[in-house]
Amino acid sequence: MTTFALRTASPAKTKAEAVVVGVLPGGTLAPGGEDVAAAYGRKLSGLLATIGAAGKPGEVTKVPTGGTIGSPLLVLVGLGAEVDPASVRRAAGNAARAVTNAASVALALPADSPELLRAVVEGYRLGGYSFTAYKSKPGTPTTPAEVVVLTPAARRSEIVEALTPAQVLVDAVAAARDWVNTPPADLTPPAFADSIAAAVKEANKHLPAGGARIRVTVLDEVRLAELGCGGILAVGAGSAAPPRLVELTYQPKDAVAHIALVGKGITFDSGGLWIKPAGSMATMKEDMAGAAAVVQATIAAARLGLPVRISVFAALAENMIGDSAMRPGDVLTTYDGTTVEVSNTDAEGRLVLADALGRAVARKPDTIIDIATLTGHMVLALGDKMAGVMGDDDIVAEVLAAGVKAGEDAWPMPLPASMDERIRSSRIADLAQYDGIRWGGGLFAGAFLREFTGGLPWGHLDIAGPTFNKGGPSGHLATGATGYGVATLVELLRARSEVTAPADAASSAPA
Ligand code: BES
Ligand code: MN
Ligand code: ZN
């Protein structure tokens, strides 16, 4: 695994096998690259023009330096006109995939603010991410063991202090990606529950001595039946692998808020008897990404020591066909006693979330956030790079603000009053799970979930679009799982831990 170190050393003198600098439009080097520009002197702009390094986003040019600077290879990455966390993250990600054979890499990208340093670390580590667990011959591509970030600001305390949180975050995002990328036959609900328990156990070992630990409870199908979790059980009924509800609690003594995080964990969504067309089923191993995000965000929050109590509910089931599969026309009863008429077995996410939300409400948190690859409607509305956010206005605003800080795009969506009629249109049960009307299906799903939030402050992220990158790698995104949502949730937890606690009071409070 790559570790990052900060140095003030000059990028022109460093002996790393490759040194990365940013290029701005007009043929100048971005901040951080001044010494390299000085070493090339007046030859530089002509050289950049000749090799076609125009400073465009996505552009990567490798130049053998022939002794002009200390490193034998100069990697020029286009930044575009803006030097900001988004452009730096993208450039660092593109650089990571260009230097996979270098044993040591120095990044001389703009990194003189905490936000930019974080962007360099995120971009490089996540852009260089690859899922190699199933390659029989590992080794390609490799990532250097140590990456040095060169910046004149390397000794400034706010820069030094930004490095660890950035590494904690990228660890969590990469771990969420690993889960989502894992083949669904190997990540059934019981296997995923075991893997979550193992990840939490491992994380607990490294948490500060004397502090709180994350506790894990795995509810199996017998316990779920005793509790009356009819949604999770119905969705999981068609699979040979039984469903699970994984509950985590992290309760530091100095907690200033209590947030419940609820994640959709459908380990494979075939659609059930309302089977999906083959093309839509192809990537449905991604349907547990919400569960992966809530668990990894919680592990990151614990490693960061955020003074927030977190209650996690990861609803795991496999939506399959079989003799015992849930049928259109069935009526089920959720944890809170609500009856739901099922008409479309492919609208399974809202059914498992209904139980998980009910379990969350019983803990009386200040706020509930759920995150789910819930509807194709949201992908149609917002595209495949952006989440739709619904719920109470102030919580939606909080999620959107966290998304901006995290560098994850999200957009507010309404829950119109007309949806209340639609979710109540069942003639035989309390709620209709689906009403056969395609229009506004993502909002119908949101309104359905709201019924299970007990009137508590609540926000809902529909991440069906941004969870899985079906295209080629670009910037910090690899092909496949993106880990979307982890960063936003961590930012939200961080903001909650700061808003309510005066900073000095929190840090001086007895443990
Ligand atoms: N898991 C899907 C939603 C999805 C779509 C996730 C694309 C990722 C990418 C969900 O369970 C589903 O099938 N939703 C249905 C709902 C409909 C039947 C009301 C959909 O979007 O068509
Ligand atoms: Mn479905
Ligand atoms: Zn689904």
The secondary structure of 311-369, three-state, reads EEEEEEEEECCCCCCCCCCCEEECCCCCEEECCCCCCCHHHHHHHHHHHHHHCCCCEEE
Per the listing, tokens 């000749």 go with 50
Which CATH code fits 168-497?
3.40.630.10
- Candidates 317, 329, 236, 319; CA nearest to 271 is 319
Percent pLDDT > 90 in the chain is: 94
Answer whether 349 contacts ligand 1 (Cβ < 6 A).
Answer: yes
Report whether pLDDT(400) > 90.
Answer: yes
- How far CA 427 is from CA of 331, 421, 423, in Å, comes to 11, 12, 11
> 388 - beta bridge partners?
411, 462
The one catalytic residue among 177, 264, 350, 422:
350
pLDDT digits (tens, 9 = 90+) for 65-76: 999 999 999 999
What is the 3 state secondary structure string of 100-148? Answer: CCCCEEEEECCCCCHHHHHHHHHHHHHHCCCCCCCCCCCCCCCCCCEEE
Q: 285 with 338: CB under 8 angstroms?
A: no
Answer whether 376 contacts ligand 1 (Cβ < 6 A).
Answer: yes
Q: 461 with 389: CB under 8 angstroms?
A: yes
Q: Letter for the amino acid at 191?
A: A
Q: What is the pLDDT of residue 142?
A: 66
Q: Decide if 405 is catalytic.
A: no
Region 29-55 average pLDDT: 95
Structure letter (DSSP) for residue 18: E
**Which of 264, 274, 319, 374 to probe ligand 1 with, by most ligand atoms within 8 A of CB?**
374
pTM above threshold 0.85: yes
* Nearest atom (ligand 1) to Cα of 349: 11
The reply to whether CATH 3.40.640.10 applies to domain 3-128 is no
Helices (DSSP H) in 384-480: which residue ranges? 393-406, 418-423, 441-450
- Candidates 358, 318, 5, 349; CA nearest to 150 is 5
pLDDT digits (tens, 9 = 90+) for 93-128: 999 999 988 999 999 999 999 999 999 999 999 999
Backbone angles phi, psi at 28, to 5 degrees: -115, 160
Confidence of residue 146 (pLDDT cuts 50, 70, 90): confident
- What is the Cα–Cα distance from 184 to 285, expressed in whole angstroms? 5
Distance from the alpha carbon of residue 281 to the mean position of ligand 1, in angstroms: 10
**Which of 273, 274, 326, 346 to probe ligand 1 with, by most ligand atoms within 8 A of CB?**
346
Report whether pLDDT(500) > 70.
Answer: no
Nearest ligand for residue 272 CA: 2
Answer whether 218 contacts ligand 1 (Cβ < 6 A).
Answer: no
Domain(s) labelled CATH 3.40.630.10 in the chain stretch across 168-497
Q: What is the pLDDT of residue 51?
A: 94
Go through the chain and tell me how many residues it has: 511
pLDDT digits (tens, 9 = 90+) for 408-455: 999 999 999 999 999 999 999 999 999 999 999 999 999 999 999 999
> 410 - beta bridge partners?
387
Confidence of residue 50 (pLDDT cuts 50, 70, 90): very high
Report whether pLDDT(504) > 70.
Answer: no
**Of 118 and 502, the one with more pLDDT:** 118
Answer whether 268 contacts ligand 1 (Cβ < 6 A).
Answer: no
- How far CA 230 is from CA of 47, 189, 333, 335, 342, in Å, comes to 67, 16, 5, 7, 12
Confidence of residue 141 (pLDDT cuts 50, 70, 90): low
Region 196-217 average pLDDT: 96
Q: Decide if 350 is catalytic.
A: yes
**Which of 269, 370, 375 to probe ligand 1 with, by most ligand atoms within 8 A of CB?**
375
Q: What is the mean pLDDT of the chain?
A: 96
What lies within 8 Å, CB to CB, of 471 at 6+ separation is 479
Distance from the alpha carbon of residue 361 to the mean position of ligand 3, in angstroms: 23
β-strands 146-150, 214-219 pairing: unpaired
Buried b (16+ CB within 10 A) or exposed e, 10-28: bbbebebbbbbbbbbeeeb
Q: What is the pLDDT of residue 54?
A: 96
Report whether pLDDT(58) > 90.
Answer: yes
Report whether pLDDT(333) > 70.
Answer: yes
The one catalytic residue among 7, 156, 276, 363:
276
**Pair of tokens at residue 220:** 């199996």
CA gyration radius for the chain?
24
Confidence of residue 159 (pLDDT cuts 50, 70, 90): very high
Q: What is the pLDDT of residue 275?
A: 98
DSSP code string of 193-215: HHHHHHHHHHHHHTSPTTS--EE
pLDDT digits (tens, 9 = 90+) for 266-310: 999 999 999 999 999 999 999 999 999 999 999 999 999 999 999
Report whether pLDDT(2) > 90.
Answer: no
**Pair of tokens at residue 278:** 């083959």
Domain(s) labelled CATH 3.40.220.10 in the chain stretch across 3-128
